[in-house]
Amino acid sequence: MLYKYGTRSFQDVILAEQAALRGLLNSYLREKEINDPRCQLSTLEEVDFVNQETIDLIKKHNTQWFKIVLPLTQITIVGLLSYYSITGQHQYGYNLYVSTKGSAMSATQKAFVAVSPQQIVELLLLEVSYNVNDAIKESLLLDMREQIANSIRRTAIYVRHAQLNVAGAEGSPLSYTRSEQSMVYGHPFHPTPKSSEGFTDIDLSQYAPEMGAVFALHYMAVSNELLCEEWIGKRPIPPSTIVGAAQIKLGERFEAYSLLPIHPWQMKYVSQQPHVQALMSQSKLIDLGPLGLEDGQQVYPTSSVRTVWDPKERLFYKLPLHVRITNFIRENSVDQVRRTMDASIILHAFQSGRKAGMYPGMDILAETGFQTVHVPDIPVHEQEELFASFAVVYRQAEQLTMEEQAACFVAAALLEQPPDGQEPLLFKAVRQSNQGLLPNWEGWLAAYLKLSMLPLLHLFAEQGISLEAHVQNSLIVLDQGAPVRYYVRDLEGISVNRNLAEKQGWTPHLIPADSPVLYTEVEAWKRLKYYFFVNHLGALIHTIARCNEVDEASYWQIVRRVLMHELTLIEANHPSSGYLHDLVENPLFPAKANFISRFEQRSEAPDYVQIPNPIYHSGRDV
């Protein structure tokens, strides 16, 4: 076997492998711009080992055969689609087959033979690496194999945990915190969505959101002379329980220090670094240990793993974590913090002048500042390493009162198919909010689009602010089953139209003209189309359509109708007009090529490919 997962149960591994294989197949199809892999297989006699599960699946109404030709390695993959998605989020039958033509076939050998998920993964890797220089090919393949295996193994652990806890979860209401910790499978178009290099299995049980982790933050006392910070508005005061515990430990020295929260895992990492050890020996940094545990001052890791949530303080801490999660080491670099703060400054300027009722239903959870350690008398690259290792970004969420938290959920978690095979959490959340009843989904979607899509479009057109509104950055609030509020978070991903920023005086007066948050209009618009329409609406509509056993096109027609209606309400020269026309008239959408970019280790600057725009194409059928 190519991949080894330890002592995971067989069923856990099967589900983890199926999820990984689906992500890789769909990513490959998208990135090779194979929009419709469906085919007619002339006869089942061509296929070896057609088991009962496959036969039963063939009998289902919408089941179809698919075929993927790998042109470089001259392999053909066939199997069954249990659901065809116009945005490429296909669902597959468990059994897949590959061609044997071109090999030394015996007279009795079938044209296609059954293969394992691991073999399909290996075939896809060999295909994307076919033309790579031999000097680096094996290194790239080894790295990718290890990352995929890591992701599958972690997923199997999370699947097992979810299955063991399903009975208890069924008896308790879905809440905001629980939704943050319910993403078992992760990004559906990513080759390694759950990989985490640096965490041990014990670390997962302590710190992984998928394991229901909760812990107290570690604290470092930082000499005021080494503290680097920036705030928009008032600097938040640490919880009184934390301050009191720190005062006891520091005594008379308390006023000479500031308190810096640190992830417990990161504290173990930084304490081994020579510069940190030197600063601690000089008492410029003092390890205060975990604070607040006795008083219940605990935090919950969210779906991003390193960002933690304090429901009492209504505050997120975006913490550095020297763990490679999916693609990157998750520390807060100088550039990332600068992007976040510049985005926050612009957003604050916009919010200050925002008219009442502007973009109703949508709100933004804004970062309000950061703190880190700055040591001036060491080389610049070492300064930046220390900066990234300690930098914590604060995100206020005063809007998320305890009442709001009971009805607010992370979109990404709502849209996953749970390991138990039951309906997704979106349906559970709606039932919970609506006396057990499900809504008319056409009306539900139209209402949601007015809360999310239209405000996002007008914000970009009128202010030049393009939010990274993918499903993991989006929160949905329900009332009586209906969407009533929409939140966007994580300003690091904002892109601002440079031209509008200049016109509104944001540059160079508020942020510099070379700020990393500034983009061309074309690039900022591309990012909004990908993050919201392809990533967000693609996942939402796929989930609703699949669970209702209907074609996705019927829901994309609703998106089109909402956009067309909005065009009737605005003047022809309105700033949003051109963007609305682009959405309904452009036959293509941009989509990230995560698989190939990740394989070639270009994840920080991934390629984009073109996929069919379902808004445009659904309109051609009505």
Over residues 274-317, the pLDDT tens digits come to 999 999 999 999 999 999 877 778 999 999 999 999 999 999 99
- Going by pLDDT thresholds of 50, 70 and 90, the confidence category of residue 530 is very high
Per-residue confidence (pLDDT) for residue 110, from 0 to 100: 60
Residue 23 has pLDDT above 70, yes or no: yes
pLDDT class of 538 with cuts at 50, 70, 90: very high
Q: What pLDDT does residue 88 have?
A: 96
With cut-offs at 50, 70 and 90, classify the pLDDT of residue 42.
low
Alpha-carbon torsion, ordered 559, 561, 562, 565, to 10 deg: 160
**pLDDT band at residue 59, thresholds of 50, 70 and 90?**
low
Q: How many whole angstroms separate alpha carbon 494 and alpha carbon 206?
A: 31
Categorize the per-residue pLDDT at 106 as very low, low, confident or very high, splitting at 50, 70 and 90: very low
What CA–CA distance (Å, rounded) separates 353 from 139?
Answer: 53
Given pLDDT bands bounded at 50, 70 and 90, which one contains residue 167?
Answer: low
The letter for the amino acid at 358 is: M
Tell whether omega for the bond before 483 is within 30 degrees of 0, i.e. cis: no
Q: What is the pLDDT of residues 485-512, one digit of tens each?
A: 999 999 999 999 999 999 999 999 999 9
pLDDT of residue 488: 97
The position carrying tokens 């470089």 is 72
Burial track 269-301 (b if 16+ CB lie within 10 A, e otherwise): bbeeeebbeebeeeebbbebebbbeeeebbbbb
Are the beta carbons of 277 and 293 closer than 8 angstroms?
A: no
- Range 576-580 average pLDDT: 97
Q: Where are the beta strands (DSSP E) in 282-441?
A: 285-290, 300-301, 307-310, 315-318, 321-325, 328-330, 362-365, 367-373, 392-396, 408-410
Q: What is the mean pLDDT of residues 231-246?
A: 90
| pLDDT number for residue 234 | 81
pLDDT of residue 99: 86
Which residues, 6+ apart, have CB-to-CB distance to 440 below 8 Å?
Answer: none
Mean pLDDT of 578-605: 92
C-alpha 134/C-alpha 131 separation (Å) is 8
- The model carries a pTM of 0.93
Question: Considering only 165-179, 291-305, 452-466, 536-550, which range has the smallest mean pLDDT?
Answer: 165-179
Q: Hey, what domains does the chain have and what are their CATH numbers?
A: 10-164 (3.30.310), 196-396 (no CATH), 403-619 (1.10.510.40)
State the pLDDT confidence band at 417, using cuts at 50, 70 and 90.
confident
Average predicted confidence (pLDDT) for the chain: 91
Pairing state of beta strands 482-489 and 362-365? Answer: parallel
DSSP-derived secondary structure for 474-519: EEEEEETTEEEEEEEE-GGG-EEEHHHHHHTT-TTTTS-TT-TTEE
- Average pLDDT of the segment spanning 582-589: 97
Q: What per-residue confidence (pLDDT) applies to 56? A: 58
Residues 337-374 have pLDDT tens digits of: 999 999 999 999 988 877 767 888 999 999 999 999 99
Residue pointed to by tokens 């067989």 = 10
- pLDDT band at residue 172 under the 50/70/90 scheme: confident
Closest among 204, 198, 154 to 6, alpha carbons compared: 154
Q: Work out the pLDDT band at 102, boundaries 50, 70, 90.
A: low
Q: Where does the pLDDT of residue 139 fall: very low under 50, low under 70, confident under 90, or very high at 90 and above? A: very high
User: Buried b / exposed e across 392-405, counting CB within 10 Å, b at 16+?
Assistant: bbbbbbeebeeebb
Structural contact between residues 155 and 19, judged by C-beta atoms closer than 8 angstroms: yes
Note the pLDDT tens digit of each residue in 420-434. 778 999 999 999 999
Predicted local distance difference test score (pLDDT) of residue 71: 94
DSSP-derived letter for residue 210 is: G
